[in-house]
Amino acid sequence: MDLNEYLGLFLDESIEHLQAINSSLLIFEQRLDDEAVIDQIFRSAHTLKGMSGTMGYDAIADLTHEMESALDLVRSKTQPATPELIDVLFVAAEQLETMVEDISQGGTGKLDVTTTVIRLKQFIDPDTESGKDTVKAAGTVMMNFECDVYSESVVRQSMASGYQAYVITVELSADVILKAARVYMVFDRLQNLGDVILSNPTSDELEQEQFETRFDVLFVTMKTAEDIQQEIKAVSEVAQVLIQPFEVSVEPAAAATLLEPVEETPAVNTSIETSTETQTPIAAKTIRVNLERIDRLMNLFEEFIIDRGRLERIAAEVGSSDLTETVERIKRGTNELQSLVLTLRMMPIEQVFNRFPRMVRSVSKDVGKNIKLHITGAETELDRTVIDEIGDPLVHLIRNAVDHGIESKADRISAGKPVEGNLSLRAYHSGNRVFIEIEDDGAGINQERVTKIALEKGLLTEEEATLLTPEEAAMLLFAPGFSTAETVTDLSGRGVGLDVVKSKIESLGGEVFVETKRGEGTIFRISLPLTLSIISAMLVKLDQETYAIPLTAIIETTSLKQDVILQAHREKVFDFRGQLVPLISLNQVYGLPHVEADAYSVVVVRSGEKLAGLMVSELIGQQEIVMKPLGSYLEGIRAISGATILGDGQVALIIDSNALLRK
């Protein structure tokens, strides 16, 4: 079996289960006796254990195994949950996340989890309590086999047509190795003799070996008890088989329904209710589709759009009203299809937001603050690629808010604020952009201090400093090499500044803004494109070649006469609104001959604070384009960020103006 094939699936599912564990842990902490939540964590841990075991990630399997054992004690009410247990579980969840993250980065997923395992083991009382418990449970189960209305009616009908119903208790030998296989063999033999109605544990649990050595089966057959006994005993590693007749009317649970046969409908209803209660509500009906397939769908669809364009032209030439009408219909249909195809890549940002409650909890605990996190708009949808990339910048900003934004308890009290700080995480759509806001009710950004540090680090001159607006001062936080933390904590001041956050967001086609009020708090606002794949661009010609420049980088387009182009230190510059801006010959950058002319079309672009004029042969116009990667073989071509397919089916390259301005 090629496990690589399953790796993607494993990662996706692990992340889902980790999220489930995280959110459940937070509820668990509030409500120590909430069985549904304990069950949820237990199940997720169990699934993780199974998957990681199969994939050979032993550390994850070990850790989840201990989590499961500990939770089982709580679940069976053998031991009450303690705050200590919750803490260990939080640590364990974090370690699991680290390991899964490592695997997704191509690592081995190995991490030293010994301490956590020991802490969990300390919780699990090593005496035989749990063992006794299972035996007792098995005993009681055998006496009153839990039987739902449906199975019971099957049993009754079978008995009416001459079948015998038995409860068969099979005990496997204590040193059984192939539990699931033995269960399978027992069931296989039973199927030949009659029908298995129910089993305890359920067949799924049996398959996954979630039982000690003993299981019960409710069975209907024409055979005698001796025949069954003989048949099952023949299976190896079966220690004991106990067969008792099952009588519907004697069963107390069954009696109730028998006595009131008229009210069968409500009875069915209750059983449905309970079953939905015990099952975790599984989210909306979804199927998992490989991203590659969706990309292929999009590619083919775009081809189709190009052909549609051709068809439109032909129809216009031919001038047949039937053809024109049909093409018009195709156009409407494809427009709708296009928006649908684009939404396929969209996912709720919940996936990213989910990990923050726990993070805020642990970070605020570490820095000794009391912080409440409010999340809104978790259902806001974003392109999958953005979802994958936006996590880290958000982590950074949130840690920053917890660490630097919100004041210490003492400071809050002396400022007359409630001790508990508030951190809000919001996501919402506006136009064709998505906004994410991180707002704290902390002290706000200290403009004087920020300016002073920027001056010390030589990020700006005295003169510039006096002209700064509060917003500009706040944006200094994002300047490379800036860190305001007076004491470097291990949280935010890890050498990675907010400038990394900014460049990451910009690489996603986004922007970041700061709004701050002294004493009242700070808002970091991130604006992101709805989808990465479609951008507005200016198409330009260099000689005969067509290129696209993303509109987000463009300030304006202009025409420059030869005589306004100045020469400064072997560089061409021009005066742009009182500022000398370098002029870049794209022909030269992209290996085309430079053509002297009286005037040049120039596209003025911006990257951060830097401006430049890009000389082009011709401006074609603005257009929505679909960004496509150049593929691994051409990755790293200088100043080209990708490609797009034009209306005529030809490929045009996309100019990376950020790279052009970076020297």
The residue range among 31-39, 421-429, 440-448, 586-594 that interacts with other proteins, by the rule CB under 8 A, is: 586-594
Q: How do beta strands 238-245 and 194-200 pair?
A: unpaired
- Closer CB to other proteins, 512 or 643, in the complex: 643
Based on the shown chain and the rule CB under 8 A, indicate whether residue 107 belongs to the binding site for other proteins.
no
Does residue 534 interact with other proteins by CB under 8 A? no
Are the C-beta atoms of residues 245 and 226 closer than 8 Å to each other? Answer: no
Stretch that binds other proteins, among 143-151, 461-469, 493-501, 630-638 (CB under 8 A): 630-638
Among 294, 545, 572, 619, binds other proteins (CB under 8 A): 545
46 catalytic residue (yes or no): yes
- Asked if the bond preceding 261 is cis, omega within 30° of 0, the reply is no
Active-site residue, selected from the candidate residues 66, 68, 350, 389 = 68
First to last CA, the chain: 49
Q: Which stretch binds other proteins (CB under 8 A): 49-57, 239-247, 505-513, 633-641?
A: 633-641
298 binds other proteins (CB under 8 A): yes
Catalytic site includes residue 68: yes
Q: Which of 22, 200, 354, 400 is catalytic?
A: 400
Q: Which is nearer to other proteins, 107 or 647 (CB)?
A: 647
Strand pairing report for 421-430 and 371-376: parallel
Contacts of 447 (CB under 8 A, 6+ apart): 468, 470, 473, 474, 518
**Selected range binding other proteins among 169-177, 331-339, 390-398, 646-654, rule: CB under 8 A:** 646-654
Q: Cβ(308)–Cβ(334) under 8 Å?
A: yes
Asked whether position 290 contacts other proteins by CB under 8 A, the answer is no
CA distance 60 to 22: 16
| 616 lies in the site for other proteins, by CB under 8 A | no
Find the binder of other proteins among 121, 519, 650, 662 (CB under 8 A).
650
Q: For residues 494-522, b (16+ Cβ closer than 10 Å) or e, as one string?
A: eeebbbebbebbbebbbebebbbeeeebb
Q: Applying CB under 8 A, does 300 fall inside the site for other proteins? A: yes
214 contacts 208 by C-beta, under 8 angstroms = no
Min CB(69)–other proteins separation in Å: 44
At 257, list the tokens.
């329904």
- Using CB under 8 A as the binding rule, whether residue 457 contacts other proteins is answered as no
For residue 589, state whether it binds other proteins (rule: CB under 8 A): yes
Among 136, 486, 649, 662, which residue sits at the site for other proteins (rule: CB under 8 A)? 649
Strand partners, 534: 626
Q: Which is nearer to other proteins, 402 or 654 (CB)?
A: 654
Q: How far is the CB of 583 from other proteins (least distance, A)?
A: 19
Nearer CB in complex with other proteins: 331/628: 628
Which of 590, 617, 623, 659: binder of other proteins (CB under 8 A)? 590
Q: Which is nearer to other proteins, 577 or 638 (CB)?
A: 638
Rounded Cα distance, 372 and 147, in Å: 46
Q: Site for other proteins (CB under 8 A): which residue of 80, 131, 519, 629?
A: 629
Beta-carbon contacts of 172 under 8 Å, excluding residues fewer than 6 positions away, are 179, 182, 213, 214, 237, 238, 239
User: CA-CA distance, 526 to 580, in Å (whole number)?
Assistant: 31
Q: Which is nearer to other proteins, 94 or 302 (CB)?
A: 302
Residue 92, phi-psi category: left (phi > 0), alpha (psi -120 to 50), beta (remainder): alpha
Using CB under 8 A as the binding rule, whether residue 126 contacts other proteins is answered as no
User: Contacting other proteins (CB under 8 A), which of 276, 299, 320, 414?
Assistant: 299
Q: Say how far apart CA 25 and CA 28 lie, in whole Å.
A: 5
- Binding-site member from 261, 431, 578, 631 for other proteins (CB under 8 A): 631
337 near other proteins (CB under 8 A): no
Which residue's CB is nearer to other proteins, number 238 or number 653? 653
The whole-angstrom separation of Cα 442 and Cα 439 is 9
Of 219-278, binders to other proteins (CB under 8 A) are none
Nearer to other proteins, 71 or 615 (CB): 615
382 binds other proteins (CB under 8 A): no
**CA 165 from centroid of its chain's CA atoms:** 49
Token match 């046969």: residue? 261
* Distance between CA atoms of residues 339 and 534, nearest Å: 11
628 binds other proteins (CB under 8 A): yes
Out of 2, 487, 636, 663, name the contact with other proteins by CB under 8 A: 636
663: contact with other proteins by CB under 8 A: no
Query: HEC string of 392-444?
Result: HHHHHHHHHHHHHHCCCHHHHHHCCCCCCEEEEEEEEEECCEEEEEEEECCCC
- For other proteins, how many residues bind (rule: CB under 8 A)? 30
Please give the Cα distance from 62 to 59 (Å, whole number).
5
CB of 306 to other proteins, least distance (A): 9
| Binding span for other proteins by CB under 8 A among 148-156, 416-424, 436-444, 644-652 | 644-652
Strand partners, 545: 542
Is 311 a residue that touches other proteins (CB under 8 A)? no
Confirm or reject binding of residue 632 to other proteins (CB under 8 A): yes
Torsion region of 509: left, alpha or beta (phi above 0 gives left; psi -120 to 50 gives alpha): left
Cβ 645 to other proteins shortest distance, Å: 5
The residue type found at 263 is E
Q: Can 269 be counted among the known catalytic residues? A: no
* Binding-site ranges for other proteins (CB under 8 A): 298-303, 545, 589-592, 628-638, 640, 643, 645, 649-653
Q: Active-site residue numbers?
A: 46, 68, 400
